[in-house]
Every structure is written in structure tokens, then in C-alpha cells.
Amino acid sequence: MVANLANSLEINLRFLNPNDSPKVREWLLDPYVLDMTFVIPGPERQNLLPFDDKVMAQYINALLDDKSRRTFAIEANGEHVGNVGLKEINLEGHRAELFIEIGESEYRGRGVGKAAMILLLDYVFDKMALDELCLEVLEFNEPALRLYKMLGFETKHRSGWHYDKHGRYWQVWWMCLPKAHWFDVREGYLLPENLSLRGL
């Protein structure tokens, strides 16, 4: 049962586990999730949509078992509502790429993604001792662009092009956040009053 979103929400991150697979499978069928991320294949691979069990299993296995990734479930008052994490982790280079998805539509636009990102960034720069986080974002994903800029990410360059299920091409921006800049931003960053964090 989804709590009344006007009430207080405690946001928590925990490691994704195999029991979370059914939820992730649901989200892989959500057109919004597909349109806003890079999960969707290009036009030449449209035969993969909707994703079959094999393709879904491959994606979920990557989230759970890929050694270059670290994936966390986002919980709002104990309900699994999305995922956030790292990929292409380079411990020697002290950097990684970030990804996030809010799978439950009721929690989008409510500050849950911001809270989850704060928890992850604190964890990455403190406990993992990384020096920089980067990410890719589609040019039309205005909510994500606003959030990343608010958290201190800066656009570095065009990362490439992505084409959607209709064969349209979209620019992909590469954004990065150095550790020192995060701690400057973090000092003045306030969450909505109805949100609280449970640290990793």
C-alpha cells in the first residue's frame, strides 16, 4: 500500500537483491521508464520490445552481479520505489558513472530522487573515497537535468546520440560532479520538510 505522499517519507537505500526482481521487471514494461533511460534499444532492435523474460533476466543479473556496478534499492517508508547506483566503477581512477530510476509513478516529482541521490553521493564520496561521479542524461529529460544541476553536476560535453523507439535522435549530455564541489553544495542543500534520510 502506498502511503499518503503528503505525509512524511523516510528515504532509505539498501543493496538490491534477487527478491526485488519482480518489481524491476514491472518497471521494464513502463513506457515512461523506457523513454527516459537508455534501456530502450534503437530502431534496429525493436523486435526486443516488449522485453521478453530472457532480456529482462540479463538486465537484472547485470544490476545484481556485475562487479563493475553497485545497485541500491530506493525505499520510501519501506516500499521499494526505484533504483540508484553506480556503473563502470573504477576504484583505481576513483571515479564511476551514476544512474537512477524511480519506477513507481506515484513517487516521481516528490523529491524522492533527490533524497536518494544525496544518500548515494554522501556514501560514494565518504565511504567509497571516489573523487568524481559522472552520468549521461538525455537532452529532453528536463526534471533530471534540473536535479543534476541542483546537486552540482556540470555539463562537460555531448556524449553522443540516442535514438528512441520512433527512430528520433536525441542528444546525450555528459555531466560530472567532483568530490570537493559536492561538499560545497551539500552544506546548503535542504530537502523538502516531508522527507527524511536514513543513511547508508
Residues 67-110 have pLDDT tens digits of 999 999 999 999 999 999 999 999 999 999 999 989 999 998 88
Whole-model pTM: value is 0.82
> What does the pLDDT read at residue 143?
83
DSSP the chain: -PPPTTS-EEEEEEE--GGGHHHHHHHTT-HHHHHHSS-S--GGGGGGPSP-HHHHHHHHHHHHH-TT-EEEEEEETTEEEEEEEEEEEETTTTEEEEEEEE-SGGGTTTTHHHHHHHHHHHHHHHTS--SEEEEEEETT-HHHHHHHHHTT-EEEEEEEEEE-TTS-EEEEEEEEEEHHHHHHHHHT----TTEEEE--
Domain ranges of the chain: 9-134
Q: Which CATH architecture has domain 9-134?
A: 3-Layer(aba) Sandwich (3.40)
